[in-house]
Amino acid sequence: MMPGPGSPLALLGALAGADVIRTGAADLEAVQQDHRRLYRGKALALALPRTVDEVSRILAFCHARRIAVVPHAGNTSYCGGATPDESGTQLVLSLRRMDKVRSVDPGDYSMVAEAGCILANLQQAAEAAGRFFPLSLGAEGSCQLGGNLSTNAGGLNVVRYGMARDLVLGLEVVLADGRVLSTLSTLRKDNTGYDLKSLFVGAEGTLGVITAASLRLFPRPRDVATAFVAVPEPRTAVELLARLRESSGDRVGSFELVPRVAVELVARHVPGVAAPLGIGSPWYVLCELTSPRADEGLGALLERELAAALEAGLATDAAVAQNERERQAFWRLRESIPEAQTREGASLKHDVSVPVSRLPDFLRRASAWVQGHVEGAVLVAYGHVGDGNLHFNLGQARGADAALLKSQEPAIRRAIHDLVHEFGGSFSAEHGIGRLKVDELARYAPPLELELMRAVKRAFDPHGIMNPGKVLKT
Ligand code: 2HG
Ligand code: ZN
């Protein structure tokens, strides 16, 4: 429906720039449903600015009129962080037209890119300049930089390069009232007061809108050795990780745990993905060593270490990728797990982390609880063991009822998150809070932290227009 001439939407349309404010059904439909289909919202309109100035005008207007704004990137959030509520009063703001790499400076090992850039395009831009941008995750073909930074995304290379926050040198942010905070410097050293940019990373669009970032680049990996390893139990996986870090001079780039059930799910649902080893082992590890030096000899080192691990009983079988095609096949198996789980049926996801050394004990206790208390579910616990981060997911058992699994969700969530808490861990390791985990944050965060978070929110967004209802209760 077209807005009337004097309506706020018509005024905003006139002010924002031609063709920026959309109200067509197809435009809205694409941003009202989250990726996991947990929430279906109703947007007031969709804003598609092309410049920082347009974003600034939109926010200044919304600030003055108290119109809520929901920043929206590649729509790959697991927690409903980018979906408007059901009120029909929230403006969805997508920066997908702001997708320029503004500059790449190989000598400075940095690049400056706009928030609407798709992650895979950023990786390619770095590569084209002979450099490496290490952020990598399953959704990299569609997720956008703004979303990656706003959720402080993790992914597959964290063990070596850190989370999204660790890759940020500077940010350009439009504040809730429309003013532009620009700290797009590429300085490595800059101790000039509070680190404001860091507040926006992981804030999920509740403090302002990230429009561009200066990012840290690295030398390209030139020697890469990848193995798929059968291990008897999570404890031996963690021990193998510690050994590999030591013997390789900290060359471990990724270290992922995969249970047998996940290999079976992928084989069942994702065509063309084969298991590199027989499926007789309860657990597997996908590990990768990388070095920027071409002659590091990582393949031989990995073979040697795995032979020693087999001898010591830390592993029972191993396949080292002999070429890039095999390496890609190992990774496809790992990256297909979420898709295979979705195809199998309903699932309850828990994105948890504990200190790496405590992970085996956590897994033992949590699995025992599931076995004793949950009906009609299969445990699919996998993920970034190198970071102490497990996706402790419960999938619908074959032939079981999805409604039965979902009805148990509150009790399961409570038990798992309480146990995580007991282990000194986090109930949101890498997927964020969004709308899904607002109550969890209120429950588990220390009161003083919550108080300070609310104070920060008030300071940056006094009228509460930025992504209300996400991260903190409104
Ligand atoms: C992954 O590691 C993603 O594959 C998705 O973070 C995890 O689906 C999940 O639970
Ligand atoms: Zn993950």
CATH number of the structural domain spanning residue 333: 3.30.70.2190
Instruction: Give the residue numbers spanning the domain of 162.
Output: 101-219
pLDDT in the model for residue 2: 63
| Whether pLDDT at 315 is above 90 | yes
Which of the listed residues 258, 337, 352 should we mutate to test ligand 1's pocket, taking the one with most ligand atoms within 8 A of CB?
Answer: 337
pLDDT digits (tens, 9 = 90+) for 62-75: 999 999 999 999 99
Angle CA 201–58–38, to nearest 5: 55
In a domain, 454, yes or no: no
Say yes or no: 164 and 253 in one domain: no
- If one counts the domains in the chain, the total is 4
pLDDT digits (tens, 9 = 90+) for 197-213: 999 999 999 999 999 99
pLDDT in the model for residue 104: 98
pLDDT in the model for residue 4: 78
| Whether pLDDT at 1 is above 70 | no
pLDDT digits (tens, 9 = 90+) for 176-196: 999 999 999 999 999 999 999
Instruction: Name the closest-CA residue to atom 6, ligand 1.
Output: 155
Instruction: Name the closest-CA residue to atom 8, ligand 1.
Output: 338
In a domain, 90, yes or no: yes
| 74 close to ligand 1 (CB < 6 Angstrom) | no
| Whether pLDDT at 5 is above 80 | no
pLDDT in the model for residue 274: 86
Buried b (16+ CB within 10 A) or exposed e, 377-402: bbbbbbbbbbbbbbbbbbbbbeebee
In a domain, 286, yes or no: yes
Q: How many residues does the chain have?
A: 474
Instruction: Name the closest-CA residue to atom 9, ligand 1.
Output: 338
In a domain, 457, yes or no: no
| 32 close to ligand 1 (CB < 6 Angstrom) | no
pLDDT digits (tens, 9 = 90+) for 111-166: 999 999 999 999 999 999 999 999 999 999 999 999 999 999 999 999 999 999 99
pLDDT in the model for residue 53: 97
Say yes or no: 274 and 364 in one domain: no
Instruction: Name the closest-CA residue to atom 10, ligand 1.
Output: 391
pLDDT digits (tens, 9 = 90+) for 352-379: 999 999 999 999 999 999 999 999 999 9
| 391 close to ligand 1 (CB < 6 Angstrom) | yes
pLDDT in the model for residue 105: 98
Taking the centre of ligand 1 as the mean of its atom positions, its distance from the CA of residue 414, in whole angstroms, is 20
In a domain, 186, yes or no: yes
Which of the listed residues 34, 38, 137 should we mutate to test ligand 1's pocket, taking the one with most ligand atoms within 8 A of CB?
Answer: 137
The residues facing 16 across adjacent strands are none
pLDDT digits (tens, 9 = 90+) for 22-51: 999 999 999 999 999 999 999 999 999 999
In a domain, 469, yes or no: no
Secondary structure string (H, E, C) spanning the chain: CCCCCCCHHHHHHHHHCCCCEECCHHHHHHHHECCCCCCECCEEEEECCCCHHHHHHHHHHHHHHCCCEEEECCCCCCCCCCCCCCCCCEEEEECCCCCCEEEEECCCCEEEEECCCEHHHHHHHHHHCCEECCCCCCCCCCCEHHHHHHCCCCCCCHHHHCCHHHHEEEEEEEECCCCEEEECCCCCCCCCCCCHHHHHCCCCCCCEEEEEEEEECEECCCEEEEEEEEECCHHHHHHHHHHHHHHCCCCEEEEEEEEHHHHHHHHHHCCCCCCCCCCCCCEEEEEEEEECCCCCCHHHHHHHHHHHHHHCCCCCEEEECCCHHHHHHHHHHHHCHHHHHHHHCCEECCEEECCHHHHHHHHHHHHHHHHHHCCCEEEEEEEEHHHCEEEEEEEECCCCCHHHHHHCHHHHHHHHHHHHHHCCCECCCCCCCCCCCHHHHHHHCCHHHHHHHHHHHHHHCCCCCECCCCCCCC
Read off the pTM: 0.97
- End residue of a domain, out of 38, 72, 94: 94
Say if CB 94 and CB 46 are below 8 A apart: yes
- End residue of a domain, out of 42, 61, 94: 94
Say yes or no: 318 and 208 in one domain: no
Instruction: Name the closest-CA residue to atom 2, ligand 1.
Output: 383
pLDDT digits (tens, 9 = 90+) for 252-306: 999 999 999 999 999 999 999 989 998 899 999 999 999 999 999 999 999 999 9
Q: How far apart are CA 206 and CA 461, in angstroms?
A: 8
* Closest to 176 measured CA to CA, from 21, 305, 68: 68
In a domain, 355, yes or no: yes
- End residue of a domain, out of 179, 200, 219: 219
pLDDT digits (tens, 9 = 90+) for 427-452: 999 999 999 999 999 999 999 999 99
